[in-house]
Structures are given as C-alpha cells and as structure tokens.
Amino acid sequence: MTQIKVEDIIQRIEQFAPSYLAEDWDPIGLSFGTSDKVVNKLMIALDVDADTIQEAQELGIDLIFTHHPAIFKSLKTLNTENPRRNEYINLIKSDIAVFSAHTNIDAADYGMSDWLADAMELPKGREIISPSYQEGYKKLVVYVPERDVEEVRRALHNAGAGEVGDYQDVSYSIKGQGRFTPQKGADPAVGKIGKEEIVNEVRIEVMFPSQLTTNVITAVQTAHPYEEPVYDLYTLENEKKVYGYGRIADYEATTEEMIGKIISKFDLAGLKYASKDPKKLHKKIAVFGGAGADYYLEAKQKGATLFITGDVSYHNAQDMLRDGIDVIDAGHYIESVFVSEMSQVINKWKKEESWDLDIFPTKKQKDVFKFS
Ligand SMILES: [Zn+2]
C-alpha cells in the first residue's frame, strides 16, 4: 500500500478534468490545506457546508473533494461572527484540506454532463450543447532500447498519452536499429566512448493533447535509459477535440415520461416543469447540469425540444415555452451524482495505484430545498 498526499490525488484529478477546462471566474483547486499533507481519509461531497464539515470532523477526514468550490466570494474578514466564515475557521482548526473541481468536471469527458445524461439514460454519441474549449493534438515518436520498451510506454501512458476516444493506452511500435558513437564527455547507458554502437531499438509512437506536452516529454526523459533520448515531436492537423457543457441526444420520450424517470433515478420528492403538452413526444432531449437556463437556445438550435436543468426562474420558463421548448427543473442538487460517480473513479485509481486510502462519500449532505 502506498501512502499518498493531497498532491497525488490532485495530479490524477488533473488528468481526468484538467484545470484549463475551467472558466476563468471559477475558483477551483485547493482552497484549504497544503498539497504535501498525507491523506488517509478522503471525503467526497457536492459542497462544503456545516453538515459536511461536521461529518468530516467526526470521521477524521484529511481532505474533502467537492464539486462546488468552497470559497466563491472574496473574503474581507475571517472571524466567527459570520456563519460561512465560521465554517472556514472550523476547517482550518480541524486541519481539513479542501479541493474542488467544478466547471472543469462539467466540461470533461465522462464528467458531470455525461453522468447526468447517463442517469437520464440518454444514449451515447451525445452532442455538446455549449462547447467551451478546443484542444489540438501532438505526436511523440521515441526510439527506445528493446529491454526498456514497456517501462517507457507505461511512463507515457501515465503521463496521459495514448488516449483516443474511448480507448486508453494506444500506441504503435516497430522494431529497428539505433546507431551512435559516444564522444568524449558522454556517459552512455549502452556502448563505449569512440566506438560505434548498434542497438536493437523500438520506435514508439503516441498521440496526446497539446496541453500535456511538458508532462509527456518529462515522462519520456525520466523513464528512458539513454543520456540523450532521441525523440521527434509533431503538431498534428487532426480534428481538434472539443470539450463543453451540457449534452443532447436522440431520445424519444415525452416530458411526462422524463419527469417520472428523473424522480425515480434521483429519488426526488418533486420537481418543477413547464410544458404546454407534457404528453408530446420529443425526439431530441438536452440535459445541462447546474443552472443551465441561459443555454437553452443553443440546445434548441441543435434540435432539442426538451431542456432539463436546475435553478430555472419564472421568466426563464416563460421564455422557453415561447420558444417551443419544454423545461424540467430537476433542481441543482441532482449534481450530487458527483458523490457516487467520483467515489467510483477515485476507487479505481486507488486499486490501480495501491493507495492506502479510505474513501467516504458524504452521507449527511442533503438538498437545501424540500417539497410540501
Ligand atoms: Zn453546480
């Protein structure tokens, strides 16, 4: 079992939902604690609030990982007289670190938008409602002595190279011979000074998003046995990868049917909706996590006639009906899928890397709204 620190978890989250996907206004990241703090107990929650802090204190939690950032408004004082500030003081006193991934999780592949679409059983092959980031690709070609191929390949994949669509660890290899003559001053891993050396090598090719270039080059330089690894770096003209918020899919259901499905999937006591005909059959349905009302026209443009989101106002709903769109306001709290989904993802990392870590999905967090 490997003891881990806050920074180890952050590094994996960064690969899953890179911070460059987050909006500029979004205060994601480590809001409390230090990155070299050892983590034995991790709690996962939608928000940091009085309930989750108390739960974390009782469980002896080292790090809380939340979707919504803990500090959204700038602080001018930090005294116990304001309830929210008092929560912050409690976190600091209890030495509990807090890390958040918000709009980067919303935009990530298989992040919040896809979790919600999954829960609503929208089929895969979904379209993004509001693209937020486009990313080009690079290719690295590196020549590695045969005996070190697996180690270098593993290092490349750990750095995030070789993810293509739904496939991981994608690479291409071909055998060949590398030649070199070490010169005075060299300290060769193979061969002798002044003597030409011929080594059986493998050419490995991997593709990766441009943002990972430094990671990937560092990984290959660290794992490669040679003093001077030879590699080529190419910028690819391939179609860029698009990230963004909300998902649309071809799916036939009425507003009424979707309401029933959402209530049962998320175990809701109720929800709001606006529809001129709840029995009308929709062919394209859109889902947008959080408060997505501002994006309904983008969903309409892409063919959706039912828009599912949270925090819809009276005037939002009026506008949508005027534009011929039915809306279901399932509440912002359906984003609590973050807790179960992220727990599963981190549990997978824990197994892969033999982390000595206990994961606690929050049990005390609940929706602030009730129905009567
Ligand atoms: Zn939210």
How high is the mean pLDDT in each 10-residue block of the chain (372 residues)?
Answer: 96 92 96 97 97 97 98 92 95 98 96 96 95 95 96 94 89 96 92 94 96 94 94 95 96 98 95 97 97 97 98 97 98 96 97 96 93 90
How many angstroms does the Cα of residue 287 sit away from the middle of ligand 1? 13
Name the pairing type of β-strands 281-287 and 306-309. Answer: parallel
* Ligand 1 centroid – CA 332 distance (Å): 6
- Measure 324 CA to ligand 1 centroid, in angstroms: 26
Match 């549990």 to its residue by tokens.
347
Burial classification of residue 308, based on how many CB atoms lie within 10 Å of its CB (0-12 exposed, 13-18 middle, 19 or more buried): buried
Give residue 149 CA to ligand 1 midpoint distance, Å.
44
pLDDT at 74: 87
The reply, when asked if residue 332 is annotated as ligand binding, is: yes
Structure tokens at 241: 């990868």
Instruction: Quote the ligand 1 centre to 331 CA distance (angstroms).
Output: 10
Cα of 163 from ligand 1 centre, angstroms: 28
Structure tokens given for 359: 């994961």
Strand ranges (DSSP E) for 160-312?
172-180, 197-209, 231-235, 241-254, 272-274, 281-287, 306-309
Looking at residue 328, what is its pLDDT? 98
Rounded-to-integer distance, Cα 248 and Cα 124, Å: 10
What pLDDT is recorded for position 166? Answer: 79
- Whole-number Å distance between alpha carbons of 209 and 15: 11
* Distance (Å, whole) CA 66 – CA 43: 8
Pair 227, 212: CB distance under 8 Å: no
> How many Å lie between the centroid of ligand 1 and the Cα of residue 68?
6
Q: How far is CA 238 from the centre of its chain?
A: 23
Task: Measure 18 CA to ligand 1 centroid, in angstroms.
Answer: 18
CA 84 to chain centre: 27
From the CA of 47, how far away is ligand 1's center (Å)? 9
Element (H, E) at 3: none
**Any binding-site annotation on 67?**
yes
Supply the pLDDT for residue 221.
95
What is the rounded distance in angstroms from the CA atom of residue 58 to the CA atom of residue 138?
A: 47
Domains of the chain: 4-106+336-361 (3.40.1390.30), 109-131+244-330 (3.40.1390.30), 137-239 (3.30.70.120)
Between the CA of 15 and the centroid of ligand 1 the distance, in Å, is 21
Q: How far is the CA of 296 from the centre of ligand 1 (A)?
A: 17
| Nearest of 99, 119, 117 to residue 22 by alpha carbon | 99
Biggest alpha carbon–alpha carbon distance for the chain: 86
Separation between Cα atoms, residue 40 and residue 357, nearest integer Å = 5
Output the CA 285–ligand 1 centroid distance in Å: 20
Distance 333 CA to ligand 1 centre (A): 8
- Distance from the alpha carbon of residue 310 to the mean position of ligand 1, in angstroms: 9
pLDDT of residue 47: 96
Q: What is the pLDDT of residue 165?
A: 79
Does the annotation place 102 within a ligand binding site? no
Cα of 364 from ligand 1 centre, angstroms = 18
